Amino acid sequence: MSDTLDPIFTQHLPEVRMFGRMVFDPIWAERMHPAAGHEVLHVVRGRMELVTADRRRRLGPGDTALVRAGTPHRDAFDAHEGLDILYCAFDWPAAPRYFEQVSNDTIAALDGDR
């Protein structure tokens, strides 16, 4: 990652489509579904496994993950325990460039000792 910020990230700001805390419905754990827009998932309470065609990422309280628009995924969690998420869905012209530089591995590295 370079030390200078690409101007595309500041010239075109994300358009937030939905933002708030959600208690996930178990249907999201059972079925693969495409992300309608780009998603940020931040676990407030509970544990989940973000499942895509080629990857599984475990998340617990305080962990954050990104899902690119159109990515089929499943938000696997224990329905009895529940899952409380801070959720943001957004559109952003700069997203393809952003996702070239920032991935869930980048975010996990920021988590430090988690």
pLDDT at residue 102 in the model? 87
Instruction: Give the number of other Cβ atoms within 10 Å of residue 59's Cβ.
Output: 25
C-alpha 11: how far from chain center: 23
Whether 9 maps to a domain, the answer reads no
Whether 2 maps to a domain, the answer reads no
- Looking at the structure of the chain, the number of domains it has is 1
The 3-state secondary structure of 9-47, one letter per residue: HHHCCCEEEEEEEEECCCHHHHCCEECCCEEEEEEEECC
Q: Which domain holds residue 99?
A: 15-110
pLDDT at 25 over 60: yes
Name the percent of the chain lying above pLDDT 70.
90
Whether 32 maps to a domain, the answer reads yes
pLDDT at residue 48 in the model? 95
Whether 65 maps to a domain, the answer reads yes
CA triple 86-88-89, angle to 5 deg:
150
Q: What is the pLDDT of residues 47-93, one digit of tens each?
A: 999 999 999 999 999 999 999 999 999 999 998 888 999 999 999 99
Confidence (pTM): 0.84
Whether 1 maps to a domain, the answer reads no
Which residues are paired to 96 by β-bridges? none
Which residues are paired to 86 by β-bridges? 21, 42
Residue 94 one-letter amino acid: A
CATH number at residue 101: 2.60.120.10
Average pLDDT over the chain, rounded to whole?
88
Whether 23 maps to a domain, the answer reads yes
Given CA atoms 54, 39, 112, 49 in this order, what sign does their dihedral have? negative
Whether 37 maps to a domain, the answer reads yes
Spatial distance between the Cα atoms of 70 and 48, rounded to a whole number of angstroms: 20
